[in-house]
A and B are shown apart, each in its own frame.
Chain A
């Protein structure tokens, strides 16, 4: 107990014990993989955006797989909400998440303020990702495979990060809510909810675009 007390003194956090410990580890690992996937997709999209910017007059021809690639998504105003390609945001934020995940996986207990900041930042990122998906489906009328990978990867990173923050009790939550979320995590209901959510989005996509999406 003295060791735990010492830990508490340095990080101000309650130690995570037993099965929850391996849950946290698993979450860090998944977060590592998904942030790597998101980073890869951001790379591809950023490279495309740079090519597009280099020749502003270039209009790429329309593929047979038009729904997935008419060059439409990349040239829309939504593709650079902040005046630069959205993918650049992934390029700067995902490496941070990747580093956090690597640190967490090494067994390091990250300070609460750092995890809270990460949670707030990533929640904003998730919001942007879904706003973009909404725009792509309902305003632009086209989706791109790499953008979809970003959406899915961002979702999983968010879920894993939230799970860690719940188990490590980093979030400023009322006691009852904290207890509830812990039970949700222990019963894997968070994963189930994520699966239901993504299946719902997939249903929306195939309903709107048909099997063109699936090749």
Chain B
């Protein structure tokens, strides 16, 4: 800074000290910001739980790790995050339609739970834990996977709020008929690493957000939030 031709007052030194202190604080803050950003990968990992690290896929999966519900000719693939409000809106608009199409054996629903909204549940990692709960049911009690999936949406927590606890998830599971001993496994987080892997794979394959809906592998072009919009398209896609 240039020195100005101004009479130096005795108080001047005080401002210089203040400036030095200020610059010191600023540097410290910048260093702290850099430190936080650099060590970030560690903080985005789910909290360590039993089964952490080891990728354990649920049994009975289809190709590419899909969770197949039903046995119809048309495949409806849905990538979702249980915390994503848009996915909740999709379920509200088309969940019932899919349910009917499953009952009439018109579709196979291919569920692809992913977890990328963990930061939006007040540190409770709800996306990962809810997806793990689904995987656990798929593994041990596949017949209840679909009703459990729908029940999870019926109890969807708000984005940015605290997610449901493992106990609450277990209670929802029991309500749709999942045996207590299976629901009790949720807290182990056995399939969490698999969920993380599926999430990475989904994004690597070009999924950019949720819900992503594919009809026989092709992007669904209709409005996913219009009630029953899936019904007509599924009919047309059938060969």
Out of B37, B159, B203, B210, name the residue touching A141 (CB < 8 Å): B159
Say whether chain B's binding surface is mostly helix, strand, loop, or mixed. Answer: helix
B40 touches A210 (CB 8 A): yes
Out of A59, A195, A214, name the residue touching B37 (CB < 8 Å): A214
Out of B1, B36, B85, B225, name the residue touching A203 (CB < 8 Å): B36
A64 touches B85 (CB 8 A): no
Out of B19, B36, B117, name the residue touching A187 (CB < 8 Å): B19
A67 close to chain B: CB less than 8 A: yes
B119 touches A66 (CB 8 A): yes
A-B contact count (CB 8 A): 109
| A window 174-212: CB within 8 A of B | 183-184, 187-189, 192-193, 195-196, 199-200, 202-203, 206-207, 209-212
B15 touches A72 (CB 8 A): no
B222 close to chain A: CB less than 8 A: no
B205 close to chain A: CB less than 8 A: no
Binds A, one of B22-30, B138-146, B180-188: B22-30
| A window 110-136: CB within 8 A of B | none
Say whether chain A's binding surface is mostly helix, strand, loop, or mixed. Answer: helix
A19 close to chain B: CB less than 8 A: yes
The residue of chain A having its C-beta at the shortest distance from the C-beta of B213 within the complex is A61
Annotate B1-39 by CB proximity to A: 1 below 8 A, 0 otherwise.
Answer: 100101000010001101100110110011011001100
B87 touches A192 (CB 8 A): no
A91 close to chain B: CB less than 8 A: no
B70 close to chain A: CB less than 8 A: no
A37 close to chain B: CB less than 8 A: no
A62 close to chain B: CB less than 8 A: yes
- Distance from B19 Cβ to chain A, minimum over Cβ atoms (Å): 6
A141 touches B26 (CB 8 A): no
Contacts of B117 in A (CB 8 A): 62, 66, 70
Number of interface residues of A (CB under 8 A): 38
Q: How far is the CA of A142 from the CA of B161 in the complex (A)?
A: 11
B22 touches A61 (CB 8 A): no
B96 close to chain A: CB less than 8 A: no
The residue of chain A having its C-beta at the shortest distance from the C-beta of B42 within the complex is A210
B120 close to chain A: CB less than 8 A: yes
Contacts of B37 in A (CB 8 A): 206, 210-211, 214
| B window 35-91: CB within 8 A of A | 36-37, 40, 43-44, 81, 84-87, 89
A71 touches B86 (CB 8 A): yes
The residue of chain A having its C-beta at the shortest distance from the C-beta of B24 within the complex is A196
- Distance from A179 Cβ to chain B, minimum over Cβ atoms (Å): 9
- Distance from A144 Cβ to chain B, minimum over Cβ atoms (Å): 13
Top 7 A-B residue pairs of the complex, sorted by shortest distance between their CB atoms: A141-B160, A199-B29, A59-B89, A192-B22, A187-B15, A62-B84, A211-B40
Given pairs A61-B84, A72-B85, 16 additional interface contacts (CB within 8 A)? A61-B86, A62-B84, A62-B116, A63-B209, A64-B203, A64-B208, A66-B119, A70-B84, A70-B85, A71-B85, A72-B120, A142-B120, A189-B18, A192-B22, A193-B22, A206-B33
